[in-house]
Amino acid sequence: MSTTPSYAAHSSQSPLAHHLISRRSVGAKDVQIAIEYCGVCHTDIHHSRNDWGRANYPMVPGHEIVGKVTALGANAGHLKIGQQVAVGCFVNACRTCSSCQADMEQYCLNGFTATYNSPTKDPGGFTYGGYSKNIVVDQHFVLKIPDGLDPAGAAPLLCAGITTYSPLMHWGVKPGMTVGVIGLGGLGHMGVKLSHAMGAKTVMITSSANKAADAKRLGADAVLISSDAAAMQAMANQFDFLLNTIPVAHDFNQYMPLLKVDGTMCIVGAIGPTGELNSGPLIFGRRSVAGSLVGGIKETQDMLDFCGKHNITSDIELIKIIEINQAYERMIKSDVKYRFVIDMSSLS
């Protein structure tokens, strides 16, 4: 067991502050990682402030982790000391249920162990995340960063990247398809980049006309302003797939007529009650509304390899750990393009 500096929330009202935590000793199948970069996800804010009512304090957030291997257990030989690796949203699962056996640990029927705020036998009783200097993780949940991929820009791929890649892959996005990405933020900007790289005609759907130029810079072929009723009507029945990244409850119904017959809208942003859903557009078009979480370990590695091949990273603003509380406030105001990443060398 060893101690390491971190930044932690001690209550739902307190700002994150310097805090020492304990990490378990490196076991036979473990990997110890010196954390270089950690992305900042909106989920970090929700958990820190107990918005979802299941916070455990002190809480060390962070599940978009990139760093270098500093120690290996005797049975973790497929990795090397000094290798650049990553850790995403979870660090354990039962590995025996049907979901785990199908490489879908994110849907573990017995519940995965999140990278932070999950019960664990480790020191402290709950997992501590990436706002820290190092972490010890079972080798199965350690991912490899492709050579040449910017490590800071790669950090948000572990959440925002895989959250958008997984549904695009599951619904078979490919050349010849038309894909709409709804909402241009941390998730949406990754959805545009990935859909474009998969060869689909990619349309950014946003309520803000002033985001059009940036959407096209990111790879969008066109921009549809959702507040323009005539433009929305003109695009009816044009989309094979809609990736809805809006992070708050909203009216899904306005987007359903955009789908072709047998088209699907997948929700990856808003979690929870959404209001009344009009079944008419579903029935008169055999359309579907679906949801998707992140991806399993195999799919997340596939995503990283895909991003390495196409040189895809997140657009980021690099910050020091002492700026994290201000970053949270800016995120709430959508004042970042498009993801904060902490340079963990600033933590001591």
Span 65-107, pLDDT tens digits = 999 999 999 999 889 999 999 999 999 999 999 999 999 999 9
Contact 128, 324 (CB under 8 A): no
Contact 223, 204 (CB under 8 A): yes
Q: Are residues 114 and 215 in the same domain?
A: no
Q: Are residues 32 and 131 in the same domain?
A: yes
- Model pLDDT, residue 270: 82
Q: Amino acid letter at 321? A: I
Question: How would you class 327 by CB atoms within 10 Å of its CB: exposed for 0-12, middle for 13-18, buried for 19 or more?
Answer: buried
- Model pLDDT, residue 272: 82
Q: What's the structural domain count of the chain? A: 2
Is the residue at 165 inside a domain?
yes
Q: Amino acid letter at 141? A: F
Q: Are residues 122 and 216 in the same domain?
A: no
User: Tokens in use for 194?
Assistant: 């990935």
User: At residue 189, what are phi and psi to the nearest 5 degrees?
Assistant: -70, -30
Q: Are residues 14 and 139 in the same domain?
A: yes
Q: Are residues 35 and 136 in the same domain?
A: yes
User: Domain holding 334: CATH number?
Assistant: 3.90.180.10
| Mean pLDDT, all residues of the chain | 96
Could you identify the residue written with the tokens 């800071």? 152
Q: Are residues 18 and 148 in the same domain?
A: yes
- Model pLDDT, residue 273: 84
Alpha-carbon gap, residue 144 to 124, rounded angstroms: 28
Q: Are residues 90 and 38 in the same domain?
A: yes
User: Of 276, 291, 306, which residue constitutes the final position of a domain?
Assistant: 291
Q: Are residues 35 and 137 in the same domain?
A: yes
Find the domain containing 252 and state its range: 161-291
Which pTM was predicted? 0.96
Label residue 142 by pLDDT band (50, 70, 90). Answer: very high
Alpha-carbon gap, residue 16 to 229, rounded angstroms: 43
Q: Are residues 235 and 105 in the same domain?
A: no
Counting residues of the chain whose pLDDT is more than 70, the rounded percentage is 100
Q: Are residues 168 and 142 in the same domain?
A: no
- Model pLDDT, residue 249: 86
Contact 175, 240 (CB under 8 A): no
- Model pLDDT, residue 243: 98
Q: Are residues 96 and 165 in the same domain?
A: no
User: Domain holding 186: CATH number?
Assistant: 3.40.50.720
Is the residue at 281 inside a domain?
yes
Question: How far, CA to CA in Å, does 148 sit from each of 257, 305, 310, 312?
Answer: 42, 11, 11, 11
Is the residue at 340 inside a domain?
yes
pLDDT at residue 271 above 90?
no
pLDDT at residue 215 above 90?
yes
Is the residue at 127 inside a domain?
yes
- Model pLDDT, residue 140: 97
Q: Are residues 137 and 178 in the same domain?
A: no
